[in-house]
Amino acid sequence: MIGYGFMGAAHSVGWRQAPRMFDLPAGVEMAVVVGRNAEAVADAAARWGWQESATDWREVIARDDIDLVDIVTPGDSHAEIAIAALEAGKHVLCEKPLANTVEEAQAMADAAARAAERGIRSMVGFTYRRVPAVTFLRDLVAQGAVGRIAQVRAAYRQDWLVDPDMPLGWRLQKEHAGSGALGDIGAHIIDMTQFVTGLSVDAVSGVVDTIVKERPLQGSGTGLSGTVAEGYGEVTVDDLAIFTGRLSTGALASFEATRFATGRKNDLSIEVSGDKGALRFDLEDLNTLWFYDRTAPEATQGFTRILVTEAQHPYVSAWWPAGHTLGYEHGFSHQAVDLVTAIVEGTDPHPSFDEGLSVQRVLAAVEESSANDSAWVRVGAEVSSPTR
């Protein structure tokens, strides 16, 4: 694993738990975690269960005992690391968004296609696909539960930047993050919409905005405590993005990605409305799915709560008895299960780098639209989104 921040912790939990809770077709050895700070990455290795640590990712991907490279670094290094790993014959898991630009994402997708000819697999870490309720929502839509899709509403709302004294971290710098709320959390709702509907986002009209233009330099402020900052730097990414998408069938979707939704901590929601019914999911109640069956008798119509904890629901049978809920971290175990299974079976895992590229094209189109008075912008080539 290359990188060891917040996502490094989450991925480590996934790799550690997957072979213990699921009957995997191959074992998983957490060999080495890589970071630039030798002391910090050594501490991470000891805490999270990695056998060793290193500071040079190039040396690690050249090792014969490494089969798979998991990339959890900021977006500005995704392309370089992923392409090098694929060319070295390593399977690759890369965190979302796939890259910082369409050009980088295209180069990664091309490298993945070349590697696939040699049996080398690659996957993007859109982990929310693997929340059991989201996967089940996708299955129900594919089975026709909502009928013809008329509208999708998707939002990802957080509030961690409402405090203007929040320091200027890498996520607020375009050279490292690529974009702000749009790429970081907006990418999730774009992918989730394409995943659960099986449709592509073909055109967009929207706006992005930066509410707080300058923030204390990293380490120079302590937020609401009142400590005076020693210096400020420019925020070069967006704080929120609001846009409309035209899906491949002509249906409309609305999207909101914001870090300024006061009181919203990690509120990812999606609602799919069709002529036969509707389905709704909210990550802050992640074991629940709401289903409206318009074909039921009018006297009993209404949203029905489905607790997605039964053994027949996706992924759930490996965990606890019915009614015992799962959490945020379980999606990372499911991600590891699906990737290991695909590698051993010789199949292409999803979401693929091509699917990651499709999301990157939407992100770029939203930025182009915002820069041109919210004019409608075509996204580009359609990339299908399979069930799993």
List the one residue out of 147, 114, 123, 137 whose CA is nearest residue 314.
137
pLDDT per residue as tens digits for the range 141-195: 999 999 999 999 999 999 999 999 999 998 889 888 888 999 999 999 999 999 9
The pLDDT score that the predictor gives to residue 304 is: 97
Q: What is the rounded CA–CA span in Å between residue 299 and residue 29?
A: 56
Quick one: 119 exposed, middle or buried, by C-beta within 10 A (0-12, 13-18, 19+)? exposed
Task: Name the pairing type of β-strands 277-282 and 288-293.
Answer: antiparallel
* Three-point CA angle 240, 382, 190, nearest 5°: 25
**Among the ranges given (18-22, 43-47, 72-76, 382-386), the one the predictor scored with the smallest mean pLDDT:** 382-386
Coil, helix or strand at residue 186:
helix
Q: Which residue has the tokens 């690759």?
A: 92
**Among the ranges given (69-73, 168-172, 319-323, 374-378), the one the predictor scored with the smallest mean pLDDT:** 168-172
CATH number of 6-127: 3.40.50.720
- In the predicted structure, residue 388 carries a pLDDT above the cut 60: no
Q: What is the rounded CA–CA span in Å between residue 173 and residue 175?
A: 6
Compute φ and ψ for 359, nearest 5 degrees: -65, -40
DSSP, residue by residue, 288-350:
EEEEEETTS-GGG-S-EEEE--STTSTTGGGS-STT----TTHHHHHHHHHHHHHHHHT---S
Q: Provide the token pair at 117.
A: 């000819």
129-352+359-369 has CATH 1.10.3720.10 classification: no
Beta bridge partners of residue 288, listed in sequence order: 307
User: Radius of gyration over alpha carbons of the chain, in Å?
Assistant: 21
Contact 316, 330 (CB under 8 A): no
The pLDDT score that the predictor gives to residue 170 is: 86
- In the predicted structure, residue 371 carries a pLDDT above the cut 60: yes
List the one residue out of 129, 387, 137 whose CA is nearest residue 279.
137
The pLDDT score that the predictor gives to residue 137 is: 98
- In the predicted structure, residue 243 carries a pLDDT above the cut 70: yes
The pLDDT score that the predictor gives to residue 384 is: 43
pLDDT per residue as tens digits for the range 91-140: 999 999 999 999 999 999 999 999 999 999 999 999 999 999 999 999 99
- In the predicted structure, residue 41 carries a pLDDT above the cut 70: yes
| Number of residues that this document lists for the chain | 388
Distance of CA 139 to the CA centre of its chain: 19
- For the chain, give the mean pLDDT: 94
Contact 183, 133 (CB under 8 A): no
Determine the residue type at 76.
Answer: D
Share of the chain above pLDDT 90, in %: 91
Name the DSSP class of 228: P
Q: Model confidence at 357, in pLDDT bands (50, 70, 90)?
A: very high
DSSP element (H, E) containing 256 = strand 252-258
- In the predicted structure, residue 380 carries a pLDDT above the cut 90: no
pLDDT per residue as tens digits for the range 202-221: 999 999 999 999 999 976 44
The pLDDT score that the predictor gives to residue 224 is: 44
The pLDDT score that the predictor gives to residue 219 is: 63
pLDDT per residue as tens digits for the range 263-318: 999 999 999 999 999 999 999 999 999 999 999 999 999 999 999 999 999 999 99
Residue spans of the domains in the chain: they are 6-127, 129-352+359-369
Coil, helix or strand at residue 28:
coil
In angstroms, the Cα distances linking 371 to 106, 201, 366 are 23, 19, 9
The pLDDT score that the predictor gives to residue 294 is: 96
